[in-house]
Amino acid sequence: MRWSQALIPTHKEDPADAETVSHRLMLRAGLIRKLTSGVYNYLPLGWRAIRKVEQIVREEMDRAGCQEILMPIASPAELWMETGRWDVYGKELWRVQDRNGRQFVLGPTHEEVVTDIVRNEVRSYRELPFTLYQIQTKFRDEVRPRFGVVRAREFIMKDAYSFHRDEASLDETYRALCDAYTRIFDRLDLNFRAVEAATGAIGGSASHEFMVLSDTGESEVIVCECGYAATSERAEGKIAPPPTGEEERPLERVDTPGMKTIEEVSAFLGVEPWRLVKTIIYEADGRPVATLIRGDREVNEAKLGLALAADIVQPATSETIEKVTGAPVGFAGPVGLEGIEIIADHTVEPLTSVVVGGNENDVHLTNVRPGRDFRVTAFHDIALIAKGDSCAKCGKELDSFRGIEVSQAFKLGTKYSTSMKATFLDEDGEAKPFIMGCYGLGVSRTVAAIIEQHNDKDGIAWPLAAAPLAVEVLAVNVKSDETRRVAEEIYESLRAAGVEVLYDDRDDRPGAKFKDADLVGLPLRVTVGDRGLERGVVEVRVRRTGEQTDVPTDGAAGEIQRILGTLT
């Protein structure tokens, strides 16, 4: 690839509104360009990196015995109605119509479509188990697309689905695919960790997420010295109780003008945040529910969903909140709250004197005594566990780190096969629903995660396995005939040997070309310039270590390949 003829639009300056390193560098190095909110073009270097990752994913999936297929992007609404997900997923489900007004879904994932294939084609237990996978563009109409391709509305995913006659077979495939993921992320030189994860709306009995460690990652992982690691949604832990047993006082109504946040109210009243019990209104599969949680804690929506047996739990709209509480947002409270379930976290149970919203604009209530002043429908564990809580397994203090979720595996069980009547005939002649697993890996997001971990102040520093090309040959001054002759020769010899080379043959300032080379970050840079040529050498530099060697021009291509062989 000759740079003078390639579309590699690099930028010197950081783009505005790119919050993470990977997003900035993918734009600056000319890998991607935004088409519209959360939708990206992959330019030549970006697409090459995607294809590298895809190829590794393919090799490891095939090695694990999976079969590649390709399902359509658009699927008919009727399939999604069978599982109920047509109604469960609101605006995130990207709906389109054909010319006859028939409704379709642009696939956010393919459980429905793959289950439809299998119920039509597979009859007998003798045909089980098997795993189908595809690498495909997915659509999710995210509320807030951000971080470039990490949270995009259109993205590339490898999704796999396994079908089994029993749990033991599912367990075996689940382990094999988690091993395949480990191999994939090892090959990509990522620092990652597999952690226990919540199953969420998709249901199922077990799930693991593979997290690439990154301070700007969207996910929080809770870890313990004892080896326990789980997403904060999934994590179990113990929250230390505050002192209780205060003298009983009568409830008081206090004016708190314009004060809505815990910080504002706690500073104004001079009480610790834990004493302010927050009332947060949710909609669980559409029905409003009030939750009570200590002011210093957050609600874990996954746990709340489990407690309520709801598929989708989301914060209520301000309209619903005002209807339920009769007050503007920010002043909800449990006292006098009628006609709605009140779910309180266990940590609220021992409290004897708390502050709550007054269900009235600018009013809070103090000296509130749970039981005496308000009722609770049920206590559940609905608090998010955080760093500093104690481990549920061993009692030691929990720590946390942030990560990018690059893949997730689920033991689905029979949720989809039951609702879609997908059955096989077992050995005893009985029709049984397929037991399923599903395994996703975000391909575009993995490229971002690689960049997130492999960069420095000058740009990307690709690991060889994911690099768009292996080598950049940089001709310092293309006006020099000797430089051009040697550079062309090395470029052609490397290409003939099957090495992927970017040849910077642009007539540009050397400084700009060196900066671009560092920014684009191919693993090896071969500099061909008059100064070296006077001594009969070209300079080979390893991007990730900065290590430099002079290599004689005679036989340079062979020596460059040898050095390439030492890289990871």
The CB-of-92 to ligand 9G3 minimum distance in angstroms stands at 4
As a residue count, the chain comes to 568
Look up tokens 């199922």; give the residue: 204
CA dihedral 220, 225, 227, 233 (to 10 degrees): -20
Residue 39 or 202 with smaller CB distance to ligand 9G3: 202
Identify which of 502, 517, 446 has the alpha carbon closest to the alpha carbon of residue 214. 446
Cα separation of 178 and 278, whole Å? Answer: 40
Residue 217 or 334 with smaller CB distance to ligand 9G3: 217
Cα separation of 392 and 229, whole Å? Answer: 11
Q: Nearest-CB residue to ligand 9G3?
A: 440
Look up tokens 């952690």; give the residue: 195
Residue 92 or 167 with smaller CB distance to ligand 9G3: 92
Residue 89 or 125 with smaller CB distance to ligand 9G3: 89
Identify which of 411, 419, 407 has the alpha carbon closest to the alpha carbon of residue 159. 407
The CB-of-100 to ligand 9G3 minimum distance in angstroms stands at 23
Question: Angle CA(196)–CA(198)–CA(203) in degrees, nearest 5?
Answer: 130
Residue 149 or 281 with smaller CB distance to ligand 9G3: 149
Residue 94 or 228 with smaller CB distance to ligand 9G3: 94
The CB-of-107 to ligand 9G3 minimum distance in angstroms stands at 8
What lies within 8 Å, CB to CB, of 214 at 6+ separation is 402, 403, 404, 449, 452, 453
What lies within 8 Å, CB to CB, of 276 at 6+ separation is 262, 265, 266, 294, 295, 354, 355, 356
Q: Are 158 and 440 in contact (CB under 8 A)?
A: yes
The CB-of-488 to ligand 9G3 minimum distance in angstroms stands at 47
Residue 218 or 508 with smaller CB distance to ligand 9G3: 218
Residue 113 or 451 with smaller CB distance to ligand 9G3: 113
Residues facing residue 277 across a β-bridge = 294
The CB-of-502 to ligand 9G3 minimum distance in angstroms stands at 34
Look up tokens 């439809």; give the residue: 116
Residue 109 or 216 with smaller CB distance to ligand 9G3: 109
Take residue 221 and report the two structure tokens written for it. 């992982």
Residue 203 or 328 with smaller CB distance to ligand 9G3: 203
The CB-of-166 to ligand 9G3 minimum distance in angstroms stands at 21
Q: Are 214 and 452 in contact (CB under 8 A)?
A: yes
The CB-of-343 to ligand 9G3 minimum distance in angstroms stands at 24
- Please name the helix (run of DSSP H) or strand (run of DSSP E) that holds residue 82, with its range, or none: helix 77-83
The CB-of-105 to ligand 9G3 minimum distance in angstroms stands at 7
Binding site for ligand 9G3 (CB under 6 A): 85, 89, 92-93, 108-109, 140, 159, 202, 408, 410, 438-440
Residues facing residue 164 across a β-bridge = 435
Look up tokens 């010197």; give the residue: 12
Identify which of 184, 189, 208 has the alpha carbon closest to the alpha carbon of residue 198. 208
Residues facing residue 222 across a β-bridge = 230, 400
Cα separation of 271 and 294, whole Å? Answer: 13
Residue 140 or 543 with smaller CB distance to ligand 9G3: 140
CA dihedral 375, 379, 385, 388 (to 10 degrees): 70
The CB-of-104 to ligand 9G3 minimum distance in angstroms stands at 13
Cα separation of 520 and 507, whole Å? Answer: 18
Cα separation of 353 and 248, whole Å? Answer: 8
The CB-of-409 to ligand 9G3 minimum distance in angstroms stands at 7
The CB-of-475 to ligand 9G3 minimum distance in angstroms stands at 46
